[in-house]
Amino acid sequence: MLQVSVLRANPEEVKKRLAVKHFKQPALVDTIIGLDDERKKLQLDFDTAQAKINAASKEIGKLMAQGNKEAAEIMKAEVAGLKTSLDPIKEQMNVVEQTLLDTLLQLPNLPTAEVPEGRTPEENVVVREGGSKPALHEGAQPHWDIAKKYNLIDFELGNKITGSGFPVYIGKGAKLQRALIQYFLDFNTAAGYTEYLPPFMVNAASAMGTGQLPDKEGQMYYMPEDEFYMIPTAEVPVTNVYRDVILKEEDFPVKMTAYSPCFRREAGSYGKDVRGLNRLHQFEKVEIIQIVEPEKSQAALEEMVLHVEKLLSTLELPYRILRLCGGDMGFASAITYDFEVFSAAQERWLEVSSVSNFESYQTNRLKCRYKDSNGKMQLAHSLNGSSLALPRIVACLLENHQTAEGIQLPAAIVPYFGSALIN
């Protein structure tokens, strides 16, 4: 959530930056400033009336001490009238404050100066590429055929049990999932991230804190009887560990990692874009999260990008890093880097990670603050990234590492899987 002070400082600059995200309601900036003006006026009226009550109460005490009971009673009647006037002011303040909050929640985060303009994924900027695209053997297959050939994943069984987008991993397929999750977690904890195993359901306050609400209600699975949401990513519960928390400077940087299943109701297109593991309603992912001081969040972002890049390199997969344009960025993000892996059998790039800096957008919602060296309360900055999302990683491992004899796993995975070959 943006701070009202940021909007008030330079409303035209805010509108200009919102335009990079192609936000269609720039007039909300003026609406918010107007609501804040109204809130301030009501607060002044309330404080003025309260000051009169306090002053009169002291005067009543003096009059009673002087034995001037008649004057004291007159003043008591005046105080009673002033107290009655406070209630409607307070009620109006509550209405205005709630309207102000609801309107603020409709504004996305402001993109940083580094975010390129553009509307579509085709306008994202390729920062760098790594790895080499493999030359596949004759008869190479896409991952959905490989999964069937070696009995690793049953998509039809998942459709029978639940529905489309809920695959069943079997035998070595399930073992590969487990091996990758453990490897990713070990890689992250070795880099100083503390592991968490969070709840896979959250309340509305948690979803609002990280920006899923009110932006993504339609993408989350909701249980109305309990008012819980199935998490779309471990970012939601883990970042909320620090909701309503005041940190100390020595607590930074906060570095957390977590595995979780992820649940998303998002509807996709048909065909190769959603076939097999390309797009699922339930999938596994390992997340990394940092909470840092504002002046260090850019350095933390670069560190996290390098961390994910190094992890991808160990999987011996061709990848590229993109800086997302304004029109392709998430609602809460200030800047995002996407990682894509080349699927050799499908001959296309698949997104496997996003690393984002939210600056103070999430922490303002979460009220995650710290006291600086001068004792002043400040908002921290939050960042998160996928390290990594499994479905498309598995798809690319199966496709890019396939040989005529089977799937030759990268050396980093072998100790976790227990074998170098899937056949």
Look-up of token digits 């699922």: 280
Look-up of token digits 């009226």: 45
Burial of 105 (0-12, 13-18, 19+ CB in 10 A): middle
What stretch of H or E contains 132? none
Q: Which two tokens stand for residue 395?
A: 């798809």
Dihedral sign computed on CA atoms, order 327, 332, 336, 340 = negative
First to last CA, the chain: 50
The answer to whether residues 362 and 330 touch, using CB atoms and an 8 Å cutoff, is: no
DSSP three-state, residue 137: coil
Annotated binding site for ATP, which residues? Answer: 264-266, 351-354
Annotated binding site, which residues? Answer: 233, 264-266, 287, 351-354, 384
Annotated binding site for L-serine, which residues? Answer: 233, 264, 287, 384
Strands ordered across the beta sheet of 222-223: 201-203, 228-230, 222-223
Dihedral sign computed on CA atoms, order 106, 109, 113, 116 = negative
Q: CA-CA distance, 378 to 390, in Å (whole number)?
A: 36
Q: Name which of 318, 284, 312 is nearest 400 in CA terms.
A: 318
Q: Is omega for the bond preceding 214 within 30 degrees of 0, making it cis?
A: yes
The answer to whether residues 135 and 403 touch, using CB atoms and an 8 Å cutoff, is: no
The answer to whether residues 341 and 314 touch, using CB atoms and an 8 Å cutoff, is: no
Give one word for 353, left, alpha or beta, with left for phi > 0 and alpha for psi -120 to 50: beta
Quick one: how far is CA 268 from the chain centroid? 21
Q: What is the DSSP string of 269-309?
A: -SGGGTTTTTS-SEEEEEEEEEEE-GGGHHHHHHHHHHHHH
Residue 42: CB atoms within 10 Å: 20
Q: Which two tokens stand for residue 329?
A: 């960025």
Look-up of token digits 């900036």: 29
Q: Which two tokens stand for residue 306?
A: 């390098």
